[in-house]
Amino acid sequence: MSITDHALVVEAAEAGASVVRSRYGSALTRVMKTAGDFATAADVEAEQAIIDVLRAARPGDAVVAEESGRTGAGDNGRTWLVDPLCGTLNFAARTMLASVNVALRVGSDVTVAASVDPFADEVFWTDGTAAYVRGAGTDGRLVPSAESALVDLNLDPPFPNRDVFLAARMLADESFLEQFRPRVVSTSLAVAWVAAGRRAAYVTDRHDLRNSVHFAAGIALCEAAGCVVTGLDGQPLHAGGDGLVVAADERTHAALLTLIRKQHSPSTRP
């Protein structure tokens, strides 16, 4: 019997996570990509492990991976998005904050996705209908919650919308600090944490995150779990809005949008 897409996305992401775990703490060759950004041998090896699993089961699908780019014809409209190690800087500094992300886009929709924490050995996954976390072989439903009031802000550049939004400005906003407690982990694992109820929200600037190898899996998880997911302007991501605001509930989402809109006017910037 052929493997289902949702089982395959978990298997592929776990294959990458196994490589990441095995390479943690070892001496790693670095490949510079841009100033301040690099890949390690662990990124490359984990990506190949993921692609090997996908190719064996779905040879006709296209793959877009962070390190190797696009491969495969993909004439069937199916494309796998692969981020083999999100949090490379953390990983290289021997900090156990990273994720392995795999998602399948069919047409314009992400239908299945998985985000693995290789060190907690947790798999956050969705079949496109509901979202789950797998630990010790058991699946539990993801339930968002804003109770913690913890909000992760991505402070990594680039900042394409800095004229109207900058996460660093939000950190200096007293009204933000009155409502929330900021966190910075520098990995898209934090997006999955919103779906799991471990974060109240996540905010980042960027372009076209629905098609990003870094964020597609986390966005799909949050949407399936029932989070509120929009761009920085509050519009649905499919409408072409930039950035990402993921919140556990409508109240948290509305509060964050109010804070973001305050930055639109220079006179209100802290």
Residues 202 and 112 in one domain: no
Same domain, 226 and 256: yes
Q: Does residue 228 share a domain with residue 123?
A: no
DSSP 33-54: EETTEEEEHHHHHHHHHHHHHH
Q: Is residue 269 part of a domain?
A: no
Is residue 79 included in any domain, yes or no? Answer: yes
Report the predicted TM-score, pTM, of the whole model to 2 decimal places. Answer: 0.94
Domain membership flag for residue 110:
yes
CATH number of the domain at 40, please.
3.30.540.10
- 166: confidence class by pLDDT, cuts 50, 70, 90: very high
Q: Is 8 annotated as a binding residue?
A: no
Question: What mean pLDDT, rounded, does the chain reach?
Answer: 93
Lowest mean pLDDT across 156-160, 188-192, 227-231: 156-160
How far, CA to CA in Å, does 204 sit from each of 86, 126, 154, 180, 248? 15, 22, 5, 16, 15
pLDDT at 30: 80
Q: Are residues 135 and 154 in the same domain?
A: no
Instruction: Confirm whether 218 is domain-assigned.
Output: yes
- 161 in the same domain as 137: no
Same domain, 77 and 184: no
Same domain, yes or no: 118 and 215: no
Mean pLDDT computed over 129-137:
94
Instruction: Classify residue 270: in a domain, yes or no.
Output: no
Position 160 scores a pLDDT of 92
Closest CA to 114 of 2, 194, 16: 16
pLDDT for residue 152 is more than 60 = yes
Same domain, yes or no: 224 and 258 = yes
**For position 1, what pLDDT does the model report?**
43
Residue 32: give the domain boundaries: 5-141
Helical H segments across 129-195, by residue range: 167-171, 174-179, 189-195
pLDDT band (50, 70, 90) for residue 19: very high
**218 and 249 together in one domain:** yes
Residue 173 has pLDDT above 80, yes or no: yes
Predicted local distance difference test score (pLDDT) of residue 73: 79
Can you tell me the mean pLDDT for 117-121? 96
Interval 92-107: pLDDT, tens: 999 999 999 999 999 9
Domain boundary among 119, 141, 163: 141
Q: Report the candidate in 61, 29, 63 with the shortest Cα–Cα distance to residue 45.
A: 29
Is 232 contained in some domain?
Answer: yes
| 97 labeled part of a ligand binding site | no
**Average pLDDT of the residues in 84-89:** 96
**Domain termination residue (choose one: 84, 109, 141):** 141
Does 200 map to a domain?
A: yes
Whether residues 115 and 166 fall in one domain: no
Q: Are residues 32 and 136 in the same domain?
A: yes
63 and 96 co-located in one domain:
yes
Instruction: Read off the pLDDT band of 29 (50, 70, 90).
Output: confident
Instruction: Domain count for the chain, please give it.
Output: 2
Query: Is 83 annotated to bind ligand?
Result: yes
Look at residues 141, 171, 199 and tell me which one is the last residue of a structural domain.
141
CATH code: domain of residue 165? 3.40.190.80
Task: Give the model confidence (pLDDT) of 213-232 as tens digits.
Answer: 999 999 999 999 999 999 99
Q: Confirm whether 183 is domain-assigned.
A: yes
